[in-house]
């Protein structure tokens, strides 16, 4: 069985983990850089890469210590190769390659979004897709929103994606408009808890067939720019009194409802067309309780098996990197850590690189 050290530095989390056999998480160390970026209202790439450089060695040692493992126990290292912030990816890749070189073991470069999907199988009771049949995965993170059909290891087909903002990005921008700070998703969820989701009806972002969906079915594609603009205009017309906590909660709840409802509608449409698929949700926004409730209701109403990522592995972490790396290593897959790929598309070519 392989023991793999995973390293994740694609954005504002500095993470390292040790995973056995691709699925058994022995440690999962995460340093979140939120405090370093908060005053700027979002992630500052140069601050992120410097912070990775500063804290990664301690995080790696912490992951080994928590796992009760020695350097000599490792059979491989897995690093996030992309997509993500270039200078941040470089720190993790370089560290992983140096460790692997020193130990004389392979270093694997893995896809961050594929790893978010692998996070589904880190829960002990979840079978990998080869064993359980095809999955319809709603992948919702800060940079990506996609409907992905998963048939097995590295067998992915993107059926739909956002034509503008990602769901997490929409929540982050909404939170900023409401004065809730960064990161916005958890702040909106917390504020929404005391609010009325029906207080304001925000648009659900339908994508028309003449939009930029390429070969993808518009009915499976998402759009979140409208909901964000609607909140902006609403606040211009009805400015929010800083002390009006109830209205802020109502707006957060209505906004969250619009984002979640847009996701659910597209997912339902895809499930109608793929009657045998199980349903799954992965990525940072997959932590959201309202989204999880709605997913449970959708799966129950249609009699579909539902897999939700364990909340501990929804947002960026290295257990998902080490896990996927371990499976790739055991199956002898080609996953070179030969360089970073900041714009690596899911299961394919880079979106804006040569």
**Residue 13 beta carbon to ligand KG4: minimum distance, rounded to whole angstroms:** 7
Q: How many helices (H) and strands (E) does the chain have?
A: 11, 10
For residues 82-107, b (16+ Cβ closer than 10 Å) or e, as one string? bbbbebbbbbbbbbbbebbeebebbb
Q: Which residue of 146, 189, 250, 261 would you call a contact of ligand KG4, by CB under 6 A?
A: 189
Which segment (125-133, 139-147, 264-272, 337-345) binds ligand KG4 by CB under 6 A? 139-147
Instruction: Please choose, from the candidates 148, 116, 30, 120, the residue with its C-alpha nearest in 3D space to the C-alpha of residue 310.
Output: 120
Q: Which residue of 92, 109, 129, 168 would you call a contact of ligand KG4, by CB under 6 A?
A: 168
* Residue 96 makes contact with ligand KG4 by CB under 6 A: no
Closest to ligand KG4 by CB, 30 vs 271, is 30
Q: What stretches of the chain adopt beta strand conformation (E)?
A: 3-8, 13-20, 24-32, 76-82, 107-111, 135-140, 145-152, 155-161, 278-282, 306-308
Closest to ligand KG4 by CB, 106 vs 168, is 168
Of ligand KG4, Zn ion, none, which one does residue 189 interact with (CB within 5 to 8 Å by kind)? ligand KG4
Instruction: Please choose, from the candidates 163, 88, 160, 63, the residue with its C-alpha nearest in 3D space to the C-alpha of residue 342.
Output: 88
* Residue 261 makes contact with ligand KG4 by CB under 6 A: no
Closest to Zn ion by CB, 114 vs 257, is 114
For residues 96 and 72, what is the distance between their CA atoms, to the nearest angstrom? 15
Which segment (38-46, 264-272, 281-289, 300-308) binds ligand KG4 by CB under 6 A? 281-289
Coil, helix or strand at residue 294:
helix
For residues 218 and 220, what is the distance between their CA atoms, to the nearest angstrom? 5
**Residue 330 beta carbon to ligand KG4: minimum distance, rounded to whole angstroms:** 25
Closest to ligand KG4 by CB, 285 vs 340, is 285
Q: Which residues bind ligand KG4 (CB under 6 A)?
A: 11, 141-143, 168, 171-172, 183-186, 189, 283-285, 287-288, 315-316
């Amino acid at each position: 069985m392989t023991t793999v050290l995973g390293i994740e530095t694609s954005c504002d989390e500095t993470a390292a983990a040790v995973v056995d056999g691709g699925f058994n998480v022995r440690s999962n160390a995460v340093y979140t850089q939120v405090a370093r970026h908060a005053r700027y209202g979002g992630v500052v790439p140069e601050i992120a890469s410097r912070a990775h450089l500063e804290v990664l060695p301690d995080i790696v040692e912490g992951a080994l210590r928590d796992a009760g493992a020695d350097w000599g126990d490792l059979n491989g290292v897995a690093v996030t190769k992309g997509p993500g912030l270039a200078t941040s990816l470089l720190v993790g890749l370089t560290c992983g390659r140096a460790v692997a070189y020193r130990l004389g073991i392979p270093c694997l470069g893995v896809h961050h979004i594929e790893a978010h999907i692998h996070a589904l199988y880190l829960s002990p009771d979840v079978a990998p897709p080869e064993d359980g049949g095809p999955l319809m995965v709603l992948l919702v993170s800060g940079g990506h929103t996609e409907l992905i059909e998963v048939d097995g290891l590295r067998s992915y087909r993107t059926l739909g994606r956002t034509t503008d903002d990602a769901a997490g990005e929409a929540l982050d921008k909404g939170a900023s408009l409401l004065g809730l700070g960064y990161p916005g998703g958890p702040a909106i969820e917390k504020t929404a808890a005391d609010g009325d989701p029906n207080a304001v009806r925000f648009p659900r972002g339908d994508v028309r067939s003449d939009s930029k969906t390429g070969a993808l079915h518009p009915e499976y594609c998402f759009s979140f720019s409208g909901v964000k603009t609607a909140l902006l205009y609403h606040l211009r017309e009805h400015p929010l009194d800083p002390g009006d906590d109830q209205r802020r909660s109502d707006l957060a709840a209505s906004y969250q409802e619009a984002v979640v409802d847009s996701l659910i509608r597209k997912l339902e449409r895809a499930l109608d067309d793929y009657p045998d698929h199980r349903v799954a949700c992965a990525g940072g926004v997959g932590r959201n309780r309202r989204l999880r409730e709605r997913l449970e209701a959708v799966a129950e109403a249609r009699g579909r098996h539902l897999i939700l990522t364990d909340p501990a592995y929804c947002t960026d972490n290295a257990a998902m990197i080490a896990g996927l790396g371990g499976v790739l290593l055991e199956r002898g897959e080609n996953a070179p850590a030969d360089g970073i790929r900041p714009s690596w598309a899911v299961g394919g070519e880079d979106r804006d690189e040569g």
